[in-house]
Amino acid sequence: MKGNELKPRIGIFGRRNYGKSSLINFLTGQELAIVSPVAGATTDPVRKTMELGGIGPVVWIDTAGLDDSGELGKMRVEKSLAELAQVDLAIILLSENKFETPEQHLLDMCRDRKIPFLLVYALADLFPPEEAFLNAMEELSGQRPFVLSTYNNDSREALLSLVREALPESSYRHGSLLGDVVSEGDHVVLVTPIDSSAPEGRLILPQVQVIRDLLDIQAVAHVCQVEQLQQTLDAMSNPPRLVVTDSQAFAQVASIVPDAIFLTSFSVVLARAKGLFADYVKGTPTLDHLKDGDKILLLESCTHNVTCEDIGRVKLPMLIRRHSGRQLIFDVVAGLSALQRPISDYALVIQCGGCVVSPKQLLARLAPAIDAGVPVSNYGLALAYINGIFNRSMKIFNQ
């Protein structure tokens, strides 16, 4: 149910030929990454999932060398550093008793972004660490580098133990989506329209996640499409605790569900669980204050097939234009693709539900907008606002 994006990510960073790829192979016990004496063998980040005892599945990320040179090398370094924003733990490789600009820059980035890190002194069999260097690194960073030789198998479990200790618990323990507002035995109706964007034979991920969460709570889930909603409500001996709908059906579902029944959307549920909910609530009313020529950035966390019914690329821009009555410019950026303009050029940033990313990754994506003072919203909250049910969609969470 969870893709690699929801597993803890551990990035390995360092100079070329410092043994980053060898470390990946050493830790996973498999020949996964290309190891070569030729500098720059790793050109793009390489990911591998493994089960880490006591944690669960984690994703190891092998990156290009931080000292790569030339125009192409500079692009590789930028791509490696871009990965830093997405990792839950950074392993910084040191060697040759060197700590210079590449290492200092990486350490500063980790500190600025509050990313946990481990210092590992690699290739210790070839370049034995000097005690003075290890002491200096401990004083500078607050931790003594772990001295590693991948020829010493005893050090594998010792390093993995440090990784377990350093990984933030929030990266692998995910709280309930609705557990604080829905109790065991409560009935919840889930309205799941099936349109052209729905995968053949499957539900979309937010719907699956909410169903699984309700099962974990031991609540009772009723799943239907919009056309069967009234019939489903009429068949229930008591009103449901909550109705959760796909955001694009908000208006129709709100007209059917009595005001006495709590109503929200899958996207709003995810927005609350992923963090930044207060920022979304604050930024969404910007929809009432847009001006002609304003630029709006729509952020999609995944890459998917675009259809004429696409909520982010087709329906949401159309509804926002109609709501504001303004001539607006919309940019859509998927995944980790670069923005088309400086973030400060946008009047509003609207993020999708983020079902395939962790709270850490979502924060990294939206932090530049928040830091620049650009209002942020979420697909579900924006649609609720446009349909006049913004407050109602949050009522169950405001008790």
Domains in the chain: boundaries = 4-171, 187-269, 277-390
187-269 maps to CATH 3.40.50.11420: yes
Q: Average pLDDT in the 52-59 region? A: 87
- pLDDT for 40 beyond 60: no
The architecture CATH gives domain 277-390? 3-Layer(aba) Sandwich (3.40)
- pLDDT for 310 beyond 50: yes
CA angle 8, 11, 12 (to 5 degrees): 145
User: Which of the four pLDDT bands, split at 50, 70 and 90, describes residue 127?
Assistant: very high
- pLDDT for 38 beyond 50: no
Q: Which CATH number applies to 4-171: 2.102.10.10, 3.40.50.300, 2.40.50.140, 1.10.10.1800?
A: 3.40.50.300
CA dist 198 and 170 (Å) reads 30
CA dist 320 and 322 (Å) reads 5
CA dist 184 and 248 (Å) reads 29
Q: What is the pLDDT of residue 3?
A: 46
How much is the pTM? 0.70
Quick check: do 187-269 and 277-390 share a fold?
yes
Percentage with pLDDT > 70 across the chain:
91
Higher-confidence position of 302 and 331: 331
Pick the closest to residue 224 from 258, 181, 191 (CA basis): 191
Q: Which of 41-45, 236-240, 349-353, 374-378 has the weakest average pLDDT?
A: 41-45
- pLDDT for 183 beyond 90: yes
Q: Average pLDDT in the 2-22 region? A: 80
Amino acid present at 301: S
User: Which of the four pLDDT bands, split at 50, 70 and 90, describes residue 380?
Assistant: confident
**CA atoms 66, 69, 74, 75: torsion sign:** negative
CA dist 362 and 220 (Å) reads 30
